Amino acid sequence: MRWSEFEAGQRAREWFHGLTAPVGQWMVVRVDGRSFTRFTEERFDKPFDAGFSRLMVETAQALLTELDGRYAYTESDEISVVLDPRHDLFGRSVEKIVSISAGIASAAFTHTAGTPAHFDSRIWLGASADDVVDYASWRQADATRCALNGWCYWTLRKAGATRQEATRRLERTSAADKNELLFQHGINFTELPAWQRRGIGLWWADRSRVGHDPVRGVDVTTTRRELHVERELPMKDAYRDLVTRLIGEGATPRHPVTAG
């Protein structure tokens, strides 16, 4: 067998390498912490820890930057990054996008936390901006559901319930009854920090600043692209409107713009 044939045979066994996301579709890359129930157990406050949230925001920023995303959203141990349909990142190769995004998240989180942690990754596809808005609503509803459940679970545990007792108490309990359970323990769910109930959004925003140019002796306005981290996201229709605006046409110039 000639070397070139052998080589081609080996390449052909890289079976999934040719798999690409369809051109023109919106992609959302979602990474999720691997075994974070155990990872967070000994290290962070329950159900929510501001330090853990900061690590997730740092990780989301790394993903938004490296993947050149339009919008990133984080809740619990997951991060979603919306990619433009014209995005040609890694030739839209599924293997590349999934493995590199998991690598970026794992490296950024580990670097900031100083403890090794791993993320998995997957790609969601949408045909339209409306689909992306539905996706965003879905993840935010998940954030609210998990926050309510997490607060109930840890309130019961802190009141002395075992793992099984707390889990059983919350099975088949409606959202209204969970709110009531918290209320009886002196917690008003609607008054808990918004970032816990609604998640955190990140996007690039143009910021104008007036400075003085000492050489020319004139005031100059500079505009530069800065990361915006929103810990007070709106919800439901107002959140849908925000995401619609953020992923709208022309929302993301690739590089910072400077005007004189």
Ligand X SMILES: Nc1nc2c(ncn2[C@@H]2O[C@H](COP(=O)(O)OP(=O)(O)O)[C@@H](O)[C@H]2O)c(=O)[nH]1
* Interacting residue ranges for Mg ion, rule: CB under 5 A: 32-33, 36, 77
**Minimum distance from residue 231 beta carbon to ligand X (Å):** 13
For residue 119, give Cα distances in angstroms to 39, 149, 189.
12, 23, 29
CA distance 56 to 37: 15
CB 29 within 8 A of CB 21: no
Is position 54 an interface residue for ligand X (rule: CB under 6 A)? no
**Minimum distance from residue 140 beta carbon to ligand X (Å):** 15
CA distance 132 to 129: 5
Spatial CA neighbour of 52 closest among 66, 41, 68: 41
Give residue 188's identity as a one-letter amino acid code.
N
CB 89 within 8 A of CB 67: yes
Q: Are strands 71-75 and 78-83 parallel, antiparallel or unpaired?
A: antiparallel
Q: Which of 29, 30, 40, 202 binds ligand X (CB under 6 A)?
A: 40
CA distance 129 to 84: 9
**Minimum distance from residue 118 beta carbon to Mg ion (Å):** 10
CA distance 57 to 126: 25
**Minimum distance from residue 66 beta carbon to Mg ion (Å):** 21
CB 109 within 8 A of CB 115: no
Q: Please, which residue, 21 or 108, has the CB nearer to ligand X?
A: 108
Site string for ligand X, 96-135 (x = CB under 6 A): ----------------------------------------
CA distance 207 to 224: 5
Is position 142 an interface residue for ligand X (rule: CB under 6 A)? no
Q: Give which of Mg ion, ligand X, none residue 130 binds (C-beta under 5 to 8 Å, depending on kind).
A: none
Q: Give which of ligand X, Mg ion, none residue 46 binds (C-beta under 5 to 8 Å, depending on kind).
A: ligand X
Q: Which of 10, 37, 190, 208 binds ligand X (CB under 6 A)?
A: 37
Is position 49 an interface residue for ligand X (rule: CB under 6 A)? yes
Fill in the DSSP letter of residue 22.
P
Give residue 181's identity as a one-letter amino acid code.
L
**Minimum distance from residue 146 beta carbon to ligand X (Å):** 7
Q: Spell out the residues 6+ positions from residue 54 whose beta carbon is closer than 8 angstroms to its own.
A: none
Q: Please, which residue, 193 or 253, has the CB nearer to ligand X?
A: 193
Is position 77 an interface residue for ligand X (rule: CB under 6 A)? yes
Q: Which stretch binds ligand X (CB under 6 A): 34-42, 66-74, 96-104, 160-168?
A: 34-42
Q: Which of 26, 33, 121, 242 binds ligand X (CB under 6 A)?
A: 33
Q: Which of 6, 7, 35, 221 binds ligand X (CB under 6 A)?
A: 35
Chain residues that interact with ligand X, rule: CB under 6 A: 32-33, 35-37, 40, 44, 46, 48-49, 52, 76-77, 150
